[in-house]
Amino acid sequence: MSAQSRKVLQVLKGETLSPPPIWLMRQAGRYLPEYRQTRKQAGSFLDLCYSPEMAVEVTLQPIRRYGFDAAILFSDILVIPDALKRNVRFEEGHGPRMDPIAAEEIGKLDVKPVSSHLRPVIETVARLRQELPVETTLLGFCGAPWTVATYMIAGQGTPDQAPARLFAYRHPKEFDRLLALLADVSADYLVEQIDAGADAVQIFDSWAGVLGESEFKRYAVEPVRRMIDSVRARRPQAKIIAFAKGAGILLKDYRQATRADSIGLDWSVPLSFAAELQKDGPVQGNLDPMRVVAGGQALDEGIDAILQRLGHGPLIFNLGHGITPQADPDHVSRLVARVRGTSA
């Protein structure tokens, strides 16, 4: 088997495959007992992200168990602010924390050490390409500038990202400067991942759904387009998935505006709308992660609906967001078997 048979990559080039290739966001995660064991050995979450040996191991775990068509680098979107010296840490039971950034600090951010700080992640990518089955697509990733900025401003996750939205209204020039800096640093990071062996990359804009129409264009679309243009200027063949969670009807022109090859769809996107978006190119998604928790008929019906509506065009089967820790590994086996038309 050759690299030409990497199915996710084939779909990103516009092909329709039946059955469609499959991978799951957060497929290496807390729902797997083998992940929990490795995570315990690692110490802190960031230690796990920055240990090539351990990051390779947890990336490979779901590939060994399920044979997914793609492996996604095990890391986190917040390694970028960590590289920018924002004191990122992950507190048990509370999630990510960092020092909130003030408007006057944005101009003082030093991007020079970012590449060297992230070198262990790039080493992980290179090792993965050597250790993965040749037919498995390797995906790199990073966070979108808007989503990363929301954490940098609030110092943590918030329900509606009100701190970042308010900051953007009060300090528009400084906020635009932060988004541009994040776009440029993140584009460099993606190029390094591609050079290390990533077949394609995904940009996660997990908080795009809290933005109004004009804000979506300014804070979600324009910085991602800046990133994609920067990557393509250096690596013209790069394949890029853009995932703007919760963007709804604003996804109508998102592919064209950002120049992404494929767009990721969350579970709230109606399949009728998804089919319209698919006419312009590959789509990825969009099973509700709660169906994987539920299993049984709820899982089967959700899978079948997506395959019936989107299976006749370029589709990468995935969840509409990351798999949750409550998911039963056996339900994932059932999902994979049903998508592929085999018995679990």
**Which tens digits make up the pLDDT trace of 125-179?**
999 999 999 999 999 999 999 999 999 999 999 999 999 999 999 999 999 999 9
CA distance 243 to 11: 16
Q: Report the pLDDT value the prediction gives residue 69, as an integer from 0 to 100.
A: 98
Tell me the pTM.
Answer: 0.97
| Catalytic residue from among 31, 50, 151, 189 | 151
Catalytically annotated residue among 6, 26, 86, 255:
26
- 76 included as an active-site residue: yes
Q: Which domain holds residue 97?
A: 3-340
The 8-class DSSP code of residue 137 comes to E
Alpha helices in the chain (DSSP H): 7-12, 33-42, 45-50, 52-66, 79-83, 114-117, 119-131, 145-154, 162-170, 172-196, 213-215, 222-234, 254-258, 271-278, 289-294, 296-310, 329-340
CA angle 148, 153, 156 (to 5 degrees): 75
**β-pair type (95-97, 89-91):** antiparallel
| The predicted structure's pLDDT at residue 274 | 98
What tokens does 257 get?
Answer: 């505006």
Q: Is 36 a catalytic residue?
A: no
Please indicate whether residue 151 is annotated as part of the active site: yes
- How many distinct structural domains can be found in the chain? 1
CB 233 within 8 A of CB 188: no
- Which of the residues 50, 66, 69, 76 is marked catalytic? 76
Q: CA nearest 155: which of 94, 104, 245? A: 94
pLDDT at 313 over 70: yes
195 is catalytic: no
What pLDDT is stored for residue 201 in this prediction? 98
From its phi and psi, is residue 70 left (phi > 0), alpha (psi between -120 and 50) or beta? beta
Look up the CATH number of the domain holding residue 17.
3.20.20.210
What average pLDDT score do residues 32-40 get?
A: 96
Catalytic residue among 6, 31, 35, 39: 39
Q: 43 near 173, Cβ under 8 Å?
A: no
- Residue 298: predicted pLDDT: 98
